[in-house]
Amino acid sequence: MSLSRYTVTVKADDDTDENAVIGYDPPLRTFFLQAFPDEQTDQYALWFGTLLSGSVFRKIDRWGNVSQRALEPAAVNATVKKRAEMAGLEPTDLSAHGLRSGYFTEAANRGISLPEAMEQSRHRSFQPASSYHNNATTRSGRAARLL
């Protein structure tokens, strides 16, 4: 199966991109949407992608081949810190683990159940996921509002 690409129109606020692209990349098993390219860099202001299976963070070799295996945790952490610095944030304030635990905190704050959050994060073990979720629930639950 080859790469599928279709031109669509995307509207966002007061802007319209009549040449946005929606498609499917079989080797990556990813659906994607690209819209609003920067005229100077061709970087997209809007890019969404979703994997059907496998890890989100994967190794890409110097020839552009994407591995099916997940990146090592240290490589994900280094990437998070490098991107934080590029965005003008303090790299020591962010970590890959913080993003993952922060997801559970935010999910609990928004009333998302632990099993639903675990399904999204692909946690297999209940214990670490529940500790993140329960800590957030303790701080924002009904009992905390009594204080």
* The pLDDT value given to residue 141: 56
Q: What pLDDT digit, counting tens, does each position of 118-133 carry? A: 877 777 777 877 777 6
pTM of the predicted structure, to 2 decimals: 0.47
SS3 87: coil
Q: Please state, in angstroms and rounded to a whole number, the distance separating the CA atoms of residues 31 and 136.
A: 32
User: Above 70 in pLDDT, residue 140?
Assistant: no
* The pLDDT value given to residue 138: 56
Q: What pLDDT digit, counting tens, does each position of 34-74 carry? A: 888 888 887 877 776 666 566 767 787 888 777 878 788 88
Which run of H or E residues covers position 16? strand 15-25
What are the phi and psi torsion angles at 24 (to 5°)? -140, 130
Give 12's strand partners: 15
Q: Please state, in angstroms and rounded to a whole number, the distance separating the CA atoms of residues 99 and 94.
A: 8
Q: What pLDDT digit, counting tens, does each position of 68-105 carry? A: 787 888 888 898 888 888 888 888 888 887 877 777 77
Q: Please state, in angstroms and rounded to a whole number, the distance separating the CA atoms of residues 25 and 27.
A: 6
Our CA angle for 11, 14, 16, nearest 5°, is: 35
